[in-house]
Chain A
Amino acid sequence: MANYGKVLISTDNLGLVYKLGRGNGKRKSGQASTLTALHDVSISVNEGEFVSVVGPSGCGKSTLLYILAGLYRNTSGKAYIHGHEIAGPSLDRGIIMQAYALFPWRTVQKNVEFGLEVKGLKKKEREEVALEFIDLVGLRDFADRYPYELSGGMKQRIAIARALAYDPDVLLMDEPFAAVDEQTRTLLHEELLRIWEKTHKTIIFVTHSIDEAIFLSDRVVVMTSSPGMVKDEIRVELERPRTNEIKSTPLFGSYRNDIWRHLQSLTDSTREVTTMQGRHILGAVPQEAVI
């Protein structure tokens, strides 16, 4: 399979423990109430690689992404980019969220220019670069529209253009296509692969869809929940460029079974997570998460 450059982004026994509830983490019972969102997560992603992270809800896959983005703080272990510890957000990482997070008061063009403004580019240069990436996602005719005038799929393409425009080294994508319909999602998959092959960006893609993870990635990281840990990594050796037909090949099926088996062995703990979160809302101590 494809050979990639050196390690771009990595984590070393990364952990995040939340304190639950009010006060100093102590409850009436005297037990410390904490929730381990991530425990000893060590992953490593090479330059130009497309890696997906799958796992049940509550396995901390999004949390992991937000730590890499510099938006959350880990409580143990380390996260690195270019060999330096991640200290906060920066333009070398672009995040794309499920909720699009486009600025509603800015036109498509101005949304894509946002990161370039932060970067300090001149107006003319900003406009040129923004148009280039609006072009790349095929929405040139919509440059002057406001986000409310776009469909969900178009909004996510603009969010991708916005992240690409300021030229980050890695795209961090948090279930970006979870809110669009099946047909649009299929189109967006092919679109994303086309863009990835054109821009050679490193992509870390968080999803709960096994098919999506296999179809897009070079490697799939499977996570377990409570606590969120890496269960296994599966290398996807499907030929590129990939089209939708590849999903019906035997090889694709065997990857699907592989990951599914991993996740099935997790269903028990998944159930625990659900009940645990339910109890968390009620204010009880989540026993399973206490260390």
Chain B
Amino acid sequence: MEHTEKKQNTLLTIYQKSILIVVIIVLWIIVPLYTDNIYVPSLIEVLKEFGKLAATGELFKHIGASLKIAFIGLAISQAIAIPIGVLIGWFKKVDTYLSPLLVVMRNTSILAILPLFVLLLGIGEVSKIAIIVWGCVFPTLINTIQGVKTVDSNLIRSAQSMGISNTGLFFKVVIPASSPYILAGFRLSASIALIVLVGAEMVGAFYGIGFMIFNAQHAYMIPRMYVGILTLAILGVLVNLLSTKLENGVLRWQESNTNAV
């Protein structure tokens, strides 16, 4: 009895979660058939184009180029954000010196800096990676600072009472204790990497999903443009799924892993 009820509940949840998306898909298939707007092709047409681009391998070339840059940028940004965040969170003096500058940097629009980066670093991969680094540093940085600042003082005292060295305290207590914050920051950064990437690829590129969308728009290859948008949406969902998986895996010691920031 209870079992079937539970099953019904799961079905209900699946229904509730998917109904809007299903409706949009159906509308996207049907409505364009009865309207005559060339800017909104039917989903069927878009999927045909998707198949074509996938078959020639062109789509994957773009995806590969984009992911490579996104991944390198993300990796560099995290390698910067986590150590600096820990230092700012732990040492009052570092906080005092660095924080004002970081507030200014964080609140300067990435779109405003993009042309500057292109001027300084050219339109190659370097400027794109740099802009992704810029965009992805701050969520992790801010979260890491917050995490380190809020480490339970009892845990620190407890470790210190066992005569732990400062290095030991850092790696055995401060970092693991702030890992929920750091990972939430990472998850945010990972999605931002994809978002910033598209902007960077629109400024100057010969490959990449962003370039593909931009180029298709210019050339009035409308279904192709939609393929790009759809691909990005799918990539975004996948990245979010993967980083959530990683987070839950690392944080299995937490009672519930619902601390989305």
Contacts and interface: CB of A to CB of B under 8 A. Distances in A.
Partners in one complex: yes
Contact of B158 (A97, A107, A117, A166): A97
A101 B160 CA distance: 12
Contacts of B252: 146
Given A117-B172, A146-B253, A148-B253, A105 B179 contact: yes
A117 B164 CA distance: 9
Contacts of A166: 162
A101 B154 contact: yes
A112 B164 CA distance: 15
Interface string B228-261: 0000000000000000000000001111000000
Given A104-B253, A118-B168, A71 B160 contact: yes
B157 A105 contact: no
Contacts of B255: 148
B159 A114 contact: yes
Contact of B177 (A93, A105, A114): A105
16 contacts: A70-B161, A89-B160, A89-B162, A90-B163, A94-B161, A95-B158, A101-B155, A103-B155, A104-B253, A105-B253, A114-B159, A114-B162, A117-B172, A118-B168, A146-B253, A148-B254
B162 A104 contact: no
A118 B163 contact: yes
Contacts of B155: 101, 103
A228 to B, nearest CB: 20
Interface in B161-194: 161-164, 168, 172-173, 176-177, 179
Contacts of B160: 71, 89
Interface in A201-244: none
A151 B113 CA distance: 53
Contacts, number: 58
A105 B161 contact: no
Which size class do B's interface residues fall under?
20 to 34
Contacts of A115: 162
Given A89-B162, A105-B253, A118-B168, 15 more contacts: A71-B157, A88-B163, A89-B161, A90-B163, A93-B161, A95-B157, A101-B155, A101-B157, A103-B155, A103-B176, A104-B177, A105-B176, A105-B177, A107-B253, A114-B159
A280 interface: no
Contact of B173 (A95, A103, A146): A103
Which one of A90, A95, A99, A105 has the greatest number of beta carbons of chain B within 10 Å?
A105
Contacts of B163: 88-91, 118
A247 interface: no
A69 B173 CA distance: 19
A200 interface: no
A106 interface: yes
A69 B156 CA distance: 13
A246 B253 CA distance: 41
Contacts of A117: 172
A146 B255 CA distance: 9
A118 B173 contact: no
Contacts of B176: 103, 105
Interface string A46-78: 000000000000000000000001110000000
A146 B177 CA distance: 14
- Across the A-B interface, give the 6 residue pairs with the lowest CB-CB distance, nearest first: A101-B158, A101-B154, A148-B255, A95-B161, A115-B162, A146-B253
Contact of A97 (B154, B162, B172, B179): B154
